[in-house]
Amino acid sequence: MKKLKKAFTLTELVIVIAVIAILAAVLIPTYTSLVRKANISADTQLAKNMNNLISDETTMGGVIDALAEGGYGIGKLNPTTEGHRFLWDQTSQQIIFVDENYKIVYKSKDINLDDAQLWLTVKKPSEVVKTKKFNLNYYLTQDSNQNFTLTTISNFDTGDNVLNGNLTINSTANGEAVISGTFNGTTTINTPNADIQQFGSMDELNVTAVANNSLELNGYVNELNLTEGKVDMQSSAYVKNVTLKSNDATVVNAGIIETLKKDNNTTPTFTNNGGAVVTNEAGFANATTTGYTLQIGSLTELEGFRNAVNGGATFAGMTVELTADVELEDGWTPIGAFARASAVNGFQGTFDGNDHKISNLNNDGYSPKTAVLLDNPTTIHDKKEYSFGLFGYVSNAKFFDLTLTNVSINIETGSIYGDSVAALIGFSYGTLELEGITVGSASTTDASAISAYDGVAGVVGRAYGTGAISITDCVNYANITTNEKGAGILGYATNSSTITISGCVNYGNVTADGLALAHNTANASGIATIFVGGDNPTVAGFNNKLTVSSNENNGTIEVISTNASVSITKVAHEIVGTNVNWAGDADSEKNGTVKIDGVTQ
């Protein structure tokens, strides 16, 4: 008979459990410590690698772009070690690695945290530090619908993202801070002892209190309510509605206010410092618009103007004047970054370049927001499009005496592609007047080039609407590449408008390659591409509405059928390419070459 195995006694089980507990107490902390050390080592190496990519970056946005180009996405800015953080110091231009007590674990350069300008990337409100930790600032890394609250005087920047939730700054501390970016919710500032600067665009700004040294506005605000303190509006500031709520409210205006109001029985202070007030409901005697011109003399002021337009300011009836040459940073966001539609206003004023230059216009790193994208019946299936230029969208606008040099726009065809793309204006609706616009230059160091899917040109990509279009004495040196329709001066229009083009010169090569077409037509023209259609789809109506005189083409105009599986219509013309038999350009000079599929015509 088999002998039964003896089971553990209760005492033995207790002893085994105790031994396991002792081993766990000894081994688990050891294991946890090893994992933590490994994470710290990996995060330290990551910080070293990232610093190799950002040594000359001066802004948090530049750091993120440089890291992305080096293969380090935004998620890499969150270390694996629990409680630890990566911080970018704007002063020493380095990423440092700190523990939960802000003790430095790794640095690439000597740094004094008390003097540093530290930036922390955040995605949600819980990542904001509630108590003051050195000079700690925040950079939003994705669009957010959540509400953020700052109890410290800290910079807050949404970067290329949008805060749709609310931002509240509530602190009695002294100091200075910059709030920049796009804020579609309500921003509340209650900082009676601090000075705040605003850049970008805000929907509603409620100022409960701010120091007498002021809240400085440099961008666009839709609704401003001021209870206590001073708001100092710079020349680039544009506020649709200002309401002064108490006797302790002060506004000094060098910008533009559409409507100025005050609460009943209050006596706030208003000083006009060269600014404009369109509608003065508050009754201030010194609020005026007489002789007002917005002057732009720097990139910061140009960006402020851009932010105002993108926030909703039209500048209708006003003049914007360039007072100095301006060099753009990479990845320009257009003035009027909207999806094209007749309901959109965009810029509606007069832009006077004053014979100055804007250089380095490019789309490197520009990522259009969803609201900018268009999907209409002519869009290629499963694709979306966007307009691009110095101005993305304008309506009923005028432009004079401006040169754009070193233009490099290359929008590759993918799930999103460029439609209505040019150096000055991507898309225009309604009336348009252009005179003295030059794109590129004859210099061998200027290799200006513009490439996109459709409606591509040097000066204006696409012009729609029933208003008059007048283009005079414009010059293009940029090489133009399109899949469908492109030209040296005007990429595409129809005879819905009355169009006059005179004294324009094209030196650039214009190529339509006929790849992946939506309409099976490829059109390359030296000056303009204009089709019969719209409200008067007849040749007679076309002739009556189009005047072309004294223009000149010196570039090579070529259509190449690169898609052999599709039969396409190919139109190449030195002056105006059309879909009808039209010869209204007899007095224009044709000094270039016209080719179709490599054969000179």
Q: Tell me if 501 sits within 8 A of 527, measured CB to CB.
A: yes
Closest among 523, 435, 441, 517 to 487, alpha carbons compared: 523
- pLDDT at position 101 is 86
Distance CA 197, CA 191 (A): 12
- The whole-angstrom distance between residue 278's C-alpha and the CA centroid of its chain comes to 27
Distance CA 269, CA 537 (A): 58
Distance CA 114, CA 469 (A): 59
Helices (H), 295-432: 299-311
3-state helix/strand/coil string of 462-517: EEECCCCEEEECCEECCEEEECCEEECCEEEEECCCCEEEECCEECCCEEECCCCC
Instruction: Please give the domain boundaries of the chain with CATH numbers for all domains.
Output: 294-600 (2.160.20)
Residues of the chain with pLDDT under 50: 1-2, 31, 535-536
- pLDDT at position 185 is 96
3-state secondary structure of 175: strand
- pLDDT at position 539 is 61
Q: Which residue bears the tokens 């040169």?
A: 403
Amino acid identity, position 477: Y
Distance CA 73, CA 81 (A): 18
What phi and psi values does residue 126 have, to the nearest 5 degrees? -65, -15
Distance CA 288, CA 447 (A): 45
3-state secondary structure of 281: coil
pTM of the shown model: 0.82
pLDDT tens readout for residues 228-258: 999 999 988 999 999 999 999 999 999 999 9
Distance CA 235, CA 254 (A): 5
- pLDDT at position 1 is 45
